[in-house]
Structure 1
Amino acid sequence: MQLSFCIIVKNEAENLPRCLSSVQNVVDEMVVLDTGSSDRTIEIAKSFGAEVHSFEWRNDFSAARNESLKYVHGDWILVLDADEVLVPEIVPTLKQAIAQDDYLVFNLVRQEIGAAQSPYSLISRLFRRHPEIWFSRPYHAMIDDQVEALLKREPHWKIGAISEVAILHEGYQADVIAGRDKVNKARSTMEGFLATHPNDPYVCSKLGALYVQIGETAKGIELLERGLSTVEDAATQYELHYHLGSVHVQLNEIEQAAHHYQQAIQQPILPKLKLGAVNNLASLLKDAGDLQNAQILFQQALKIDPNFAIAHCNLGATLKAMGQFSSAIAHYNQAIALNPNYAEAYQNLGVVLLKLGQVPESVAAFQTAIDLHQQQNSPEAERLQQGLREMGLL
């Protein structure tokens, strides 16, 4: 089976070499569609042997994706963004997958590097080249709508999901994602789609979550609940319940939040995709004093992903509250090993060490937490410093 790679880019000179290096020896051809770069993007793409085409940007990701599909020739197509890389260990599995004659799409697990709450997502980026598969939706471009329609006409096809991480997304930065210009563009584009698809669950989920993010909470809740009233697929249902759980936490409506997290966890999707809901429900139980059930859920999260740093930190806090200080320290240290910039883990470690009378070690942990809080411009740095001064530790 011939495997083609295609990507749309604009001014990606910094990211593109890593991306293309990850697929160069895996695929049979690379198609790069440039949408107006003014840096070395085109030169870099050509240096990797990619076929480069130009396309005028129309504020529509699907239009650009579909243009790139015109130039591929392989039996299967792999799509990445410039700030993504293909995991080398997944290549044999991908090769085995596309050798099967009865599959149309393989959904891939993407890991968001730097995302604390929901580090994994499932995306449809590996699919058979078929005249009736193309991208739709101007902002969250995806093939899912066309695949669903095609399956109704050609039900013999299968859809697969590869459970191991296949893609690393290096571009997850909260400050970039929250940038006002990007938020406004996303909002405008999704609102345009919603105007003609008012009950589409997927856009209700994405736009509803965006409304909550920018403080338009009532509008966000209305859209999320509207999406729940029409949703059928489990992945979108998970997202809707997860977002509703999170907004009810913000509103201090704990019972409603717990209900939505429980509903999210019950969805028949890959366990990796449920980590956010499992962790958040466990946190609600911990804060409510139900430490044993919180411990069970945090341990469940770590069984799914032993490298889930926030669950190690939260389990440490739960064990501390249960008086199991040695185990708490072990989980705080594991969280720090996984994320050396984890200020809260250092801070919590300092608290436990102080309870055990290990004052120098405690002060060292607190000082690291203060330094990290300051680097992150968190007001917690000053509060923590003041508390340590009052105890005579600084």
Structure 2
Amino acid sequence: MISLCMIVKDEAATLARTLATVQGVVGEIVVVDTGSTDDTVAIAQSYGAKIHSFDWANDFAAARNESLRHATGEWVLVLDADEVLLSETAQVLQSLDQGQPLGDIAAGDVLALNLLRLELSAPQAPYTLITRCFRRLPEITFNRPYHETVDDSVAALQAQDARWQVITLGEVALHHTGYDPAIVVQRGKFDRARTTMEGYLAEHPDDGYLLNKLAALYVESDQSAAALPLLNRALEQTETDDLTRYELHYHRALAQADHPDKAASDYEAALAQAVPPRLKLGAWINYGSLKKAQGELEGAIDLFEQAIAAEPNLAIAHYNLGATHRARGYLDEAIAAYERAIALDPNYPEAHQNLGVARFKLGQLPEALRSFRRAIDIYEAVDPATAASLSQGVIALGIPPALLTQAGLM
């Protein structure tokens, strides 16, 4: 049996969607509530969940471990209320629970599964790899008060018994919405994360994993000067796993954006790590943009094409490829790349705008105006000032007034 273990607080807006994806997959639902004041508990109960109250102590690992304490299944699946389990992965979990092998690995030798999670609001580096399904064993517990994982305890068990295997599933297993910037700001996640991680690192100054996570938070909040000492300290350590080392180099490259040569060195070091290709998308995209800015257009194209090979549906990769082709003067190739980006993301205003520029340069005026008009319409909903500026810029191109009027720009 699989036990779903969750910790929640005021998750009424999304919890039902999460629980619906595990119906018929898990044999029990364990929900640890840390003080909800909305309908979270009632929603969980309507799905048959066992509810356990827990006093929040600013420690996610403690709350997670409380959920494990109440589980009774052979396997544990951990989800957050802003995640959904995809049906293909649900079938894999059910097969494993029934004792069927994973490829050539016997079910009895599987200790844990690494699941690929798609961050729906992170268009540039949208994938993360997390250990969310594992055997319910007393030795497996969560560690660290923030960015908590079971990885340390899983690794300890593997060191004791060589038969234990941790399997990484290749396809996307989870969809996640919690990193939407609006949600992060609304819930004060940045401040809570910073305070919690800083407190933990004061007592565990050489925890490379959390040094990386806190540094990433600093980079994201434009505090690169605070991030660099943490990244440097973590990179001095020799016992760092490949994924953490990839992230350390990637984040240090971002923190050194004002020093292109240093950033390039870190991007190359990041890309050299033995991690799944989809996890390298951020490095490919950012390194490609750096090379484009330095005029190394062929190198930029190669990096964007590697990103597309790893994830053909990444709109920003096609957009950046188009921008680089346009910089080379290859307008037909640029148009094809922009059109692919728009097919993947129809509300991509920059792609519509630059498609308009490329078509204008080729003398395709009606088509260019349609692209400009679409870009303006999208901008008007999210950035009216940019919409107005683009509209004035299009008028200044010298396009015949009759065509501008027909496109609704005069």
Which TM bucket (shorter chain)?
A: over 0.9
Letter in 2 for 1:306: P
Q: Secondary structure at the match of 1:70?
A: helix
Query: What is the alpha-carbon distance in structure 2 between the residues aligned to residue 86 and residue 254 of structure 1?
Result: 40
1:71 matched to 2:70: yes
Structure 1 residue 288 and structure 2 residue 287: aligned? no
Write out aligned runs for 1:33-44 (5 A). Answer: 33-44=32-43
**Distance between the aligned counterparts of 2:85 and 2:241, measured in 1?**
27
Q: CA deviation at 1:214?
A: 2.8
Name the structure 2 match of 1:301.
307
Going from structure 1 to structure 2, the CA distance change for 1:239 and 1:378 (only over 3 Å counts) comes to farther
Aligned to 2:102: none
The match for 1:28 is 27
Aligned partners of 1:316, 1:219: CA distance in 2, in Å?
Answer: 35
How far apart in 1 are the matches of 2:225 and 2:194?
Answer: 16
Query: 1:178 Cα deviation (Å)?
Result: 4.6
1:243 to 234, 244, 251: 251
CA distance in 2, matches of 1:119, 1:107: 16
Aligned pair partner of 1:201 in 208, 223, 239: 208
Match of 1:363 among 363, 369, 376: 369
2:112 and 2:165 in contact (8 A); partners too:
yes
| Secondary structure at the counterpart of residue 73 of structure 2 | coil
Aligned to 1:48: 47
Equivalent residue for 2:381, pick from 359, 375, 378: 375
Residue in 1 aligned with 2:199?
192
Listed as ranges, the matches of 1:1-394 within 5 Å are 2-97=1-96, 99=99, 100-178=107-185, 181-230=188-237, 231-249=239-257, 251=258, 253-377=259-383, 380-392=386-398, 394=409
Q: Secondary structure at the match of 1:109?
A: strand
Q: Deviations over 1:192-243 (max 9, x none)?
A: 1100111111111111122233333212111111111115200000111111
Q: Work out the CA distance in 2 between the residues paired with 1:5 and 1:184.
A: 29
Matches of 1:379 and 1:304 in 2, distance apart?
A: 36
Change in Cα spacing, 1:271 to 1:63, as seen in structure 2 (3 Å) is same
- Measured after TM superposition, the shift of residue 126 of structure 1 is 0.6
**Partner Cα distance (1:160, 1:169) in 2:** 21
Displacement after TM superposition at 1:20 (Å):
0.4
Deviations 1:258-316 (A, max 9, x none): 11111111100111111111111122222222222222221211111111110010111
Is 292-301 or 228-237 further displaced after alignment? 292-301
Indicate how the Cα distance of structure 1 residues 319 and 215 shifts in structure 2: closer, same or farther if over 3 A, else same: closer
Residue range with higher mean Cα deviation, 233-242 or 205-214: 205-214
How many pairs are equivalent? 391
Amino acid at match of 2:56: W
- TM-score, structure 1 length as denominator? 0.94
Q: Matched residues in 2 for 1:334 and 1:292: separation?
A: 20
Alignment partners' CA distance in 2, 1:325 and 1:235: 38
Partner Cα distance (1:289, 1:131) in 2:
56
Indicate the RMSD between aligned Cα atoms, in angstroms.
1.8
Query: For 2:66 and 2:165, how far apart are their aligned partners in 1?
Result: 26
What is the distance in 1 between the residues matched to 2:368 and 2:78?
Answer: 48
| Alpha-carbon distance in 2 for matches of 1:285, 1:110 | 29
For 1:290, the aligned partner's letter is E
Give the residue type in structure 2 aligned to 1:361: E
Look up the equivalent residue of 2:264 and give its one-letter code: A
> Contact 2:319–2:337 at 8 Å: present in 1 too?
yes
Paired with 1:211 and 1:294, the residues of 2 have a C-alpha distance of 27
Aligned-pair identity in percent equals 49
Distance 2:398 2:288 in 1: 35
Q: Which moved more, 1:48-57 or 1:285-294?
A: 285-294
- Counterpart of 1:200, as a letter, is D
Whether the 8 Å contact between 2:3 and 2:72 is mirrored in structure 1 is: yes
TM-superposed CA distance for 1:392, in Å, is 4.2
Partner Cα distance (1:327, 1:63) in 2? 53
Alpha-carbon offset, residue 109 of structure 1: 0.3
Structure 1 portions without partners, runs of 5+: none
Segment drifting more, 233-242 vs 275-284:
275-284
Structure 1 CA distance for aligned equivalents of residues 191 and 77 of structure 2: 30
- 2:129 is paired with a residue whose SS is strand
Distance 2:314 2:392 in 1: 31
Cα distance in 2 for residues equivalent to 1:155 and 1:200: 25
Question: Contact 2:219–2:254 at 8 Å: present in 1 too?
Answer: no
**Distance in 1 of aligned mates of 2:231 and 2:187:** 22
Q: Which moved more, 1:76-85 or 1:35-44?
A: 35-44
Name stretches of at least 5 consecutive residues in structure 2 with no aligned partner: 100-106, 400-408
For 2:220 and 2:284, locate their aligned partners in 1 and report how far apart those are by CA, in whole Å.
Answer: 21
Distance in 2 between residues matched to 1:327 and 1:90, nearest whole Å: 37
